[in-house]
Amino acid sequence: MNETLNDADNSLQSHGNWASTFPECMDSVPDSLTFLNRCICIGVSTILYKRGVIPQQCFKGRLIEKYRVYTMNTSNAIGNRLHQKIKGVCDAIRQGYLDEIAVVFFPKLNVEEVFEVYSFKINYDDDNNPNIDFSRGLNATDKQKLMSFKYNGPEQAKGEFFRLVRVIHDLTRKFMRPLPPNCDAGFRSAYRTHTPADYQAPGFVPSDIFYELVPEAQRVEFGHIRGGHHESLVVCYSTLLEEAGKVRGAVENCNKSRMNQFINESFAEISNVSNKSPKNTSKDGYSENSKGRIYPLYARTKNVKAVV
């Protein structure tokens, strides 16, 4: 299944089964790429929706086999702008350049004082032999676990995606305090060492700023997704988490026994989103009533390392 941006747009805007959004098999490089790109698109959209930093009408709720997810609403000015940024991220992954894409939250007046991060660390593998370089914030046990992980077929990949969605849903809803007033959100990207010096993901601008977390930020692994040739570790760092041990326990409990409750909540939230009328927006598309705004998106220069 070859990835095209138009195909991605169409499949992500309607309700349907797994095959209407994702490849049925992720063994080939193109299908593995499509799977990862769409996981990131849905993951980022769902995080931004759940954290409430931009208006709800910027998103579209949809169901994939009874699981509720969110994507950008391309008919909305802000939603379309964000969608274009995600397309830029997908371009960087397609070329094998992207090392990490992060959604960051910070005070409006200080882009460097990051208090919450959702990091998607990317790994590329042409032989299904993990060559993990998830060095940032991982201990020896985590590294050993990731090194032993392999792609074992579409059912495993499917389960990992749905588990990631459940974890985002549960943690942002039950274990994270609301974002403070007057905060902003943005994307930060990092590139691999072989990336051409003049390359920037489409829609991004060069910057020396990546992210530096405050010491009290806690780390929780949200999930790990893998196709046949690409994978991503999704990690949250936040000062707004409940006690980390309790949160990790909740992550482990995101299992099938809770699925009925999750599905019921999913239907209720989609109904609420579809019934809301758009708020007044300013001329650039931002809601006048939203908690914050999306800060101009930064891409760091390659090889600048984050401090965590």
Helices (runs of H) and strands (runs of E) counted in the chain = 7, 12
pLDDT of residue 68: 84
Q: What is the 3-state secondary structure (H, E, C) of 87-114?
A: HHHHHHHHCCCEEEEEEEEEECCCCCEE
Count Cβ atoms below 10 Å from residue 289 Cβ, excluding itself.
9
298-300 and 116-124 as β-strands: parallel, antiparallel, unpaired? Answer: unpaired
pLDDT of residue 257: 43
- 3-state DSSP assignment of residue 173: helix
Q: Which residues of the chain have pLDDT under 70?
A: 1-15, 126-149, 244, 254-308
What region does 225 belong to: left with phi over 0, alpha with psi -120 to 50, or beta? beta
pLDDT of residue 90: 93
Give the number of C-alpha atoms closer than 13 A to the C-alpha of residue 238, restricted to the C-beta side: 26
pLDDT of residue 181: 86
Q: 5-300 architecture in CATH?
A: 2-Layer Sandwich (3.30)
pLDDT of residue 102: 93
pLDDT of residue 72: 93
pLDDT of residue 50: 93
> Please, are residues 106 and 225 in contact by the beta-carbon 8 Å criterion?
no
pLDDT of residue 285: 28
The packing angle between helices 154-174 and 29-51, to 10°, is 10
pLDDT of residue 303: 39
pLDDT of residue 143: 55
Q: Where do the domains of the chain lie?
A: 5-300
In terms of Cα–Cα distance, which of 181, 39, 26 is closest to 115? Answer: 181
The secondary element (H helix, E strand) that includes residue 50 is helix 29-51
> Please, are residues 170 and 252 in contact by the beta-carbon 8 Å criterion?
no
Q: In whole angstroms, give the CA distance from residue 243 to residue 227.
A: 32
> Please, are residues 239 and 219 in contact by the beta-carbon 8 Å criterion?
no
State the amino acid at position 169 in one-letter form.
H
Q: In whole angstroms, give the CA distance from residue 116 to residue 190.
A: 17
Q: In whole angstroms, give the CA distance from residue 305 to residue 68.
A: 35
The token duo for 20 is 């209407």
Q: In whole angstroms, give the CA distance from residue 49 to residue 57.
A: 10
- DSSP letter for 266, please: H
Give the number of C-alpha atoms closer than 13 A to the C-alpha of residue 87, restricted to the C-beta side: 18
> Please, are residues 189 and 301 in contact by the beta-carbon 8 Å criterion?
no
Q: In whole angstroms, give the CA distance from residue 185 to residue 47.
A: 11
Q: In whole angstroms, give the CA distance from residue 82 to residue 58.
A: 9
